[in-house]
Amino acid sequence: MRLDKFLCEMNIGSRSQVKSYVKQGLVTVNDVIAKAADVKIDEFHDTVIYKGKPLKYQRYHYYMLNKPQGVVCATQDNVSRTVLELLPKELRKNLFPVGRLDKDTEGLLLLTDDGDLAHRLLSPAKHVDKTYLLQIAAPLSSADCRALETGVDIGEDTLTRPAKVEILGEKNCLLTIHEGKFHQVKRMLKAVGNEVTALKRVSFGGLHLDETLNSGAYRELTDSEVKLLHEK
């Protein structure tokens, strides 16, 4: 792989930017200052260092975002701020959100450029778990919980798949679903005569929201987290 392509894929900068970095002597390959940006390297075995930082080749990139309210799950939008705009420009290349959270919903969102993984995680056949923390207008009765855990009519051809309800307080609960229908959680609560007043996703596909991430903050997934998602 060409050195400049490698640096671009590592989100160091644009093609013109990384060429400039090489000219400035900021990049070494196997402890030797790179003389040209188009030199060929072995991306898996050569040691490339930029500004003293070793770069480990990644074909794909994975980020956990604690999505705040008021931003939309899109790569671009003419009206609202998007989730990608919460990341620096140099990290956004080819990234997209895996699935959607409503504009007023917050919490765990996966951003990646790995299309195959996203397809698998969103496939209806996979039944990937998604857990939400809900604030609701009224307490859930035992009958409400049984209905949600059995399946409710939200206006689709079939009932929702069985969910899991965990009561946390009078007007707080965790709801785990295995589908991704439009406004599904809100529609499920409406089906039992209730209303969601606040919604936050706390886990997705076995990935749990990092409690140290402030609203709007992000971090790269760990190797073990990436492996966990690929096992789905």
Q: What is the 3-state secondary structure (H, E, C) of 46-74?
A: CCEEECCEEECCCCCCEEEEEECCCCECC
User: Which CATH number characterizes residue 39's domain?
Assistant: 3.10.290.10
The tokens 């990608």 sit on which residue? 84
pLDDT (tens digit per residue) in 197-225: 999 999 999 999 999 999 999 999 999 99
pTM of the model: 0.83
Residues 142 and 161 in one domain: yes
Q: Which long-range contacts (CB under 8 A, 24 or more apart) does 152-158 make?
A: 152/188, 152/191, 152/192, 153/191, 154/181, 154/184, 154/187, 154/188, 154/190, 154/191, 155/187, 156/181
Beta carbons of 2 and 26 less than 8 angstroms apart: no
Give the count of domains, the chain. 3
Are 2 and 39 in contact, with CB atoms under 8 Å apart? yes
State the pLDDT at residue 210: 97
The residues that are catalytic are: 102
Domain enclosing residue 118, as ranges: 62-123+208-230
Percentages of the chain per state (helix, strand, coil), in multiples of 5: 25, 25, 50
pLDDT in tens, 126-174: 889 999 999 999 999 999 999 999 999 999 999 999 999 999 999 999 9
At 9 the pLDDT is 86
**Of 55, 74, 91, which residue is a domain's last?**
55
Angle at 65 between CA 219 and CA 104, to 5 degrees: 160
CA distance 227 to 232: 9
| CATH number assigned to the domain comprising residue 101 | 3.30.70.580
